[in-house]
Amino acid sequence: MLFIAPWLLGCLVFLVFPLGFSLYMSFHSVQILPTRIATKFVGFDYYREILFSSSVLYENLFPFLREMAVMIPVILVFALMIAIFLNQRFWGRSFFRAVFFLPVIFTTGYVVTEFVNQGQGSLGFLENARFSGYLDMFLGSGGWGEAVKNVLNRFVLILWYSGVQILIFLAGRQTISPSAYEAARIDGASPWDVFWKITLPAMTPFLFLNLIYTVIDMFTFPFNPIIQLIAMKNYGYNSALAWIYFVIILIVLGLFVALFARIVRSRPKME
């Protein structure tokens, strides 16, 4: 207890108390006065206003969910490909591993914000190659078409936000025994067959871990419109919106977990 006392104290002060106080404020109208914090009980008024009397949440949430539905598979596929590549033996492998992980260290939320505000987060090839017009032609100018364009135009952010996923996939790839690949080559399996029959099934737990991490990472993205919306009104309204957003995150995570579990159960088991 003595050794874990600093962690317990920090958890109580910096996690449990703020969570409880924010839940308390979500049911109150809060005013910051010079000498005290004045609260007035309003019940579920803020929750009803956000969910039923205003469309601000939905106008920001649905476009973000569409964009996230495009960005998450792109990040996972990109990270898996890079991890498989970095697991190969070639000159300068350690250097390239460091290059792909360095953005995790340097690009904090504020740094990413400054990069994008200075125009460094966009590749600009959609406008230069007039690719945006083709996307509008096939996907439409709004909805999913706009989500795909936003992801492609900010592909640099995908590079910056794939470091942890690459590291996890790389660790997972190294848990696969080389003898499995040797046996597959002796049996005449092609690299394509080896990937689908050995690599991908063995990487399933790490794929699930990266899925959960990426979903949470996207929900706390610096340019998340919901997070920006939370800081726009009074404390009580903000707290209610934050708790609604927290429940939405739990629902999305639950859907991903249920879908992933269904896919794993339906996969044929190897003898």
Using one digit for the tens of pLDDT, what is the confidence trace for 79-103? 999 898 888 888 888 888 888 887 7
Report yes or no on 48 lying in a domain. no
Reported as a single tens digit per residue, the pLDDT across 135-191 is: 656 655 555 556 666 666 666 677 777 888 999 999 998 888 888 888 888 888 888
The closest of 235, 238, 236, 237 to 227, measured between CA atoms, is 238
Report yes or no on 10 lying in a domain. no
Report yes or no on 26 lying in a domain. no
DSSP β-bridge partners for residue 49: none
Q: In CATH, what number is assigned to the domain containing residue 173?
A: 1.10.3720.10
* Structure-model confidence comparison of residues 103 and 63, the more confident one: 63
Report yes or no on 24 lying in a domain. no
Q: Is residue 29 classed as helix, strand or coil in its secondary structure?
A: strand
Amino acid 250: pLDDT: 92
Report yes or no on 37 lying in a domain. no
Report yes or no on 18 lying in a domain. no
Amino acid 152: pLDDT: 64
Confidence of residue 219 (pLDDT cuts 50, 70, 90): confident
Q: What is the mean pLDDT of the chain?
A: 81
Per the CB < 8 A criterion, the answer to whether 171 and 210 are in contact is no
Report yes or no on 14 lying in a domain. no
φ, ψ dihedrals at 28, nearest 5°: -135, 150
pTM of the predicted protein model: 0.77
Instruction: Tell me the average pLDDT across 186-205.
Output: 88
H/E segment holding residue 28: strand 28-32
Report yes or no on 188 lying in a domain. yes
* Structure-model confidence comparison of residues 153 and 259, the more confident one: 259
- For 202-209, the CB contacts below 8 A with 24+ separation are 202/172, 202/175, 202/176, 203/80, 203/169, 203/172, 203/173, 203/176, 204/264, 205/172, 206/168, 206/169, 206/171, 206/172, 207/76, 207/80, 207/169, 208/260, 209/168
Reported as a single tens digit per residue, the pLDDT across 5-29 is: 999 999 999 999 999 999 999 999 8
Confidence of residue 266 (pLDDT cuts 50, 70, 90): confident
Amino acid 230: pLDDT: 81
Instruction: Please give the share of the chain, as a percent, with pLDDT higher than 70.
Output: 78
Confidence of residue 271 (pLDDT cuts 50, 70, 90): very low
Q: What total of structural domains would you count in the chain? A: 1
Domain span at residue 97?
54-266
